[in-house]
Structure 1
């Protein structure tokens, strides 16, 4: 195997500084991009009561607004993912954030629900591109020994962004027109992200997947990357990357990455977007404060997931929490009149463990697809996860009104249980493997 190490002690001090600078810049640019997704979804959840009143929206319209960014991610993930596999990582890494920046500014000027729907749909398309390119690009520069922890830390950024936006919305909830500032404040974060992304080089692994060995090896030596060159060259593809997802070789990875992600995020997005209404229906007096506490615990949970992802492996971090969180929501579903302490405890268990497992949404999809179709695979899995999340977010306010809180929680529990069952049979163990070897391990499992 022609593997180049992730350290190069023969380089100059200047070279080493350049490597560190690139790794730090890439990590920050990706972390901020991931945090932006959480920010726009957390912000809409906190601002939804004020938006509903100010724009005179029905439950159905509120559901559409809540789901609009998720629907945009469904469109943007596969589109930008295919583009990044076909034309390279760099251009998508900058373009998607420029689109998001324009959408953030436009939110200040909406005066009806449909304008807001269209703007957030476009922002969602940009975020879909972020999922398809941000974590994959970082994974292609990450060393094997801490790749899982580094990628999982992106989810910490997502939850921090979600909690920060919710806190901003909570602080501005009593201000006239405060929801505009809650939504539009993402402009500042987007500006920082665009500035960080200037000068990021192309992925050496992507260059290898296209047969451009000389260019790739120059980058590998310059930045001290851990890459099995021969494996990357051997696994390169010239065929349509979207079609390859559904071949026998890759179908199991496609199904797994899509379904486990959807099962994790459907209950979280649905409940998180309308958490004040859910907690109020369960009898909690200060529903906004309860939602903020739940989001804060989710940040702690995903941080715990980052610490555990390399220690206990991927499967143990994914499967048991699925069953425990399903039991927590089922208890609320069967006993919606339970004492407030029981309700709060169940929601906190759900928030903590769901977030811990969600660290894997930035790890598993990157590891089960080879470089040639990685961003397409991640983009497609992102889209499928957001289909479920969008459906849940759209239908939750309607379900609360027509079914009640108990049956609504039972539906969420059933989704989590299905995720646990599917993951038991489909989830590979990829901890400790070089990135191209992790993808091969998943592919070899798929071929059997």
Structure 2
């Protein structure tokens, strides 16, 4: 029914609206990094305190995903949509006015509370958005529609970087502009999402006939023809007992990508301004090149090929490029060469847009059944963002010792990812070859006839 449907304008419209969550996730990560120097100067952060915004936002996202992931499976994807964007919008705008009134200590405390709430909202939203998109996507176009969420993420960063380049020397004006902008976009997202329907698979599972008929009508699908199906409601413990190996795979892929990407997302200006070969404004331009380069392969290659030739060839090519990009940083003289740095940024940008990030997203949703899809992603997101948050706390310290160590760590992660995915492709292809299969096939959640 939904799996074999033709792709329509409605699919794209819903994906763009749901994908605003990725835009705001990128906004949180990049906004934290872009504005770190401003808030750090205002509140006189120490080296350890420089890592606090990254730690707090990522921990907020971790616990938000863990808690709201389960609620999304119990009460529906739209239930989460009624809460998370309001929380994001209010918290971002309150964060924007940090430093206007209170003493340094109280400003730090309140800023960290608002960073945490923004993170919680992101953790609630993004796994839920991916569940919703995957559950109405036709099986032959799931990679295509999910790639749009990746592109929305990069667009979010580029919009912020454009603002940063325009306001690069304005300190807290930049800080307040970025966070107010994100807050307003969150409120707009909340309004737009009121037009979305519930996930059709969730409606099938819960027996919500009226909602199912509404979504079918909007997607031009006849739900009265063909085999009728019902989906089992599984207990939370089955997530670990039956789907434990899939959880382990998703956790591994997220860890290999998440720490390098979060480090660049939240610390790019901090890292590369520390080597003093370009201005702060040029650092923002370099970051725009890095993130912008990821959009082209996402649009022109993964978008068209992930559902045809499959995820693995794109992932392996991407992992090699990403590993090389970081290994370029382990030779100290290269850190003084602008052209080598640009090559490194382009390799990682093009590489992750080509396969690593969109494939990681897909494999985190395709192996869980409908009744555990949000929960599974929520748990994996919890581990990934928790680990990235801890790493983020110590990133300024690592940078102060030497950027080469960032290169060694991230390069090794992508090399390991290449090895593991290659072995799975050879010996356990069902773990990584998910193209052109229904979610029930990839999650071993075969529907039962009524």
- TM-score of the superposition, structure 1-length normalised? 0.87
Measure the CA separation in 1 of the matches of 2:19 and 2:215.
23
- For the 8 Å contact 1:5–1:224, the answer to whether it is kept is no
**Higher mean displacement: 153-162 or 278-287:** 278-287
Give the corresponding residue for 2:81.
93
Which runs of no fewer than 5 residues in structure 1 stay unpaired? 9-18, 443-448
Secondary structure of the structure 1 residue equivalent to 2:405:
helix
Which runs of no fewer than 5 residues in structure 2 stay unpaired? 100-106, 425-430
What is the Cα deviation at residue 267 of structure 1?
Answer: 0.7
Measure the CA separation in 2 of the matches of 1:289 and 1:217.
46
Give the corresponding residue for 1:432.
436
What is the Cα deviation at residue 170 of structure 1?
Answer: 2.9
Matches within 5 A, 1:67-78: 67-78=55-66
Measure the CA separation in 2 of the matches of 1:358 and 1:316.
13
Matches within 5 A, 1:15-414: 23=11, 25-111=13-99, 112-178=107-173, 179-210=175-206, 212=207, 214-215=209-210, 218-219=213-214, 221-222=216-217, 223-225=219-221, 233=230, 235-239=231-235, 241=236, 243-247=237-241, 249-282=242-275, 284-286=277-279, 287-303=283-299, 304-337=301-334, 339-356=337-354, 357-401=356-400, 403-414=401-412
Measure the CA separation in 1 of the matches of 2:222 and 2:128.
20
- For the 8 Å contact 1:68–1:390, the answer to whether it is kept is yes
What is the Cα deviation at residue 225 of structure 1?
Answer: 4.8
- For the 8 Å contact 1:47–1:173, the answer to whether it is kept is no
- For the 8 Å contact 2:3–2:138, the answer to whether it is kept is no
- Cα 1:202–1:407, aligned 2, differ >3 Å: closer, same or farther? closer
What is the Cα deviation at residue 44 of structure 1?
Answer: 1.7
1:335-363, CA deviations, whole angstroms, 9 ceiling, x for partnerless residues? 44463322321222112202322122432
- For the 8 Å contact 1:6–1:226, the answer to whether it is kept is no
- Root mean square deviation, CA, Å: 2.7
**Higher mean displacement: 374-383 or 291-300:** 291-300
Measure the CA separation in 2 of the matches of 1:213 and 1:34.
28
Measure the CA separation in 2 of the matches of 1:156 and 1:23.
16
What is the Cα deviation at residue 214 of structure 1?
Answer: 4.4
What is the Cα deviation at residue 306 of structure 1?
Answer: 2.5
Secondary structure of the structure 1 residue equivalent to 2:35:
helix
1:272-311, CA deviations, whole angstroms, 9 ceiling, x for partnerless residues? 3222232234453233322222222233343343333223
What is the Cα deviation at residue 420 of structure 1?
Answer: 2.4
Name which of 403, 419, 435 aligns with 1:421. 419
- Cα 1:4–1:352, aligned 2, differ >3 Å: closer, same or farther? closer
The reply on whether 1:6 has 2:5 as its aligned counterpart is yes
**Higher mean displacement: 391-400 or 156-165:** 391-400
What is the Cα deviation at residue 100 of structure 1?
Answer: 0.9
**Higher mean displacement: 215-224 or 366-375:** 215-224
What is the Cα deviation at residue 113 of structure 1?
Answer: 2.4
Measure the CA separation in 2 of the matches of 1:46 and 1:252.
37
Measure the CA separation in 2 of the matches of 1:372 and 1:431.
21
1:402-436, CA deviations, whole angstroms, 9 ceiling, x for partnerless residues? x3111221111122222223333444211111222
- Cα 1:70–1:225, aligned 2, differ >3 Å: closer, same or farther? farther
What is the Cα deviation at residue 7 of structure 1?
Answer: 5.6
